[in-house]
Amino acid sequence: MSDKTAFLWDEKCFWHYGGNYALLSPVGGLVQPMVSGGLPEAPETKRRLKNLMDVTGLSDELDMDSAAPASMDDLLRVHPQSYLDTFKEMSDNGGGELGLRTPFGSGAFEIAALSAGLVTEAIKRVQTGQARNAYALSRPPGHHCLPDFPNGFCLLANIAIAIEAARAQGLGKRFAVLDWDVHHGNGTEAIYLDRDDVLTISIHQDRCYPHDTGGTEVSGTGKGAGLNMNIPLPPGCGHKAYLDVMERLVIPKLKSFDADLVIIACGFDASGFDPLARMMCSPDTYRLMTRQVMEVTNGRLVAAHEGGYSELYVPFCGHAMLEEMSGSSIHAEDPLHARITGQQPDAYADAFHVQVIDRLEGELKANGVLC
């Protein structure tokens, strides 16, 4: 049984590209092209995380590797053949756009399958004892992707594909997905809403993206009743509110479900410097949330990279999380620590956030999610 942290990545995932966008709007009409161009879901946030790890020496302490792409059998456990055929055909013919805000270029099908393969391998490494825990630097992301409708930069449901592949290989029966990306994990929710073998939890900024999903009233259906936990937080929540939510709502639910493996849908877009959200988390927030989960799982977990769009700050948030996962003594000092600490909500805002969490706890209890 290894006590190392595996880090699964591949340069080809950085080569995925979208269309001619200015942030979230297609260029045209009154929308001018941007100098830097493209969607905010760009390779640099991920590449710079890997670069920072190389420079600090953290990469040398991890089990760095790539993985095989997810197979067609793996993909078909989650996505219908018709969707995969359309995606593959468009990818082979230069790319295009499927769904909502999911433009892609030539070869995107193979890159997306590789991204799902990295998550699949991460789960395999942990479940077979080859690693204590694992981080998949997956790109394109996956948590917004429905079985037949991609959206929010997500082309394949990476985590669901990996879970079902693990289940097919006899590497676990019960899984929990904790999604702390700032946007609601609507794709993962939809795939597992009526299942009793996967617990889905999403902490997100209320009505940020998608605008019409993520309420506490969506708690699971049929066999999955009570096994979907949505935690919509108001803009402005920071370090204290996120740790309180983890302690009061998330950790008790994880303990009661007792999964074979916890998988974190790991977005760093709740940071205080992200262009697509309005939260105030810091690298220390991600470090301590990771610690909270590891205390429940005895250090065993898998993280799959999702969002996070600040080229400066994502690397430091990710590095802090990986320091905690690996137990490394290497520390990448947060260059914006004083600024983000000074901008945290004051006592009046903290008191309001406590009231919000009280209300959410009551709603989740009323909907049968919490005891």
Long-range contacts of 96-101 (CB under 8 A, 24+ apart): 97/19, 98/150, 98/155, 99/149, 99/150, 99/151, 100/149, 100/150, 100/151, 100/152, 101/24, 101/39, 101/151, 101/152, 101/153
Q: How far apart, in Å, are the Cα atoms of 97 and each of 81, 103, 152? A: 18, 4, 12
The one catalytic residue in 16, 79, 144, 353 is 144
CA–CA gap between residue 324 and residue 106 (Å, rounded): 37
The number of residues in the chain equals: 371
Q: Are 190 and 148 in contact (CB under 8 A)?
A: no
3-state SS, 280-328, equals EECHHHHHHHHHHHHHHHCCCCEEEECCCCCCCCHHHHHHHHHHHHHCC
Question: Angle of helix 108-127 relative to helix 81-92, nearest 10 degrees?
Answer: 130
Residue 144 catalytic? yes
Nearest to 188, CA basis, from 141, 124, 222, 223: 141
Indicate which residues carry an active-site annotation: 144
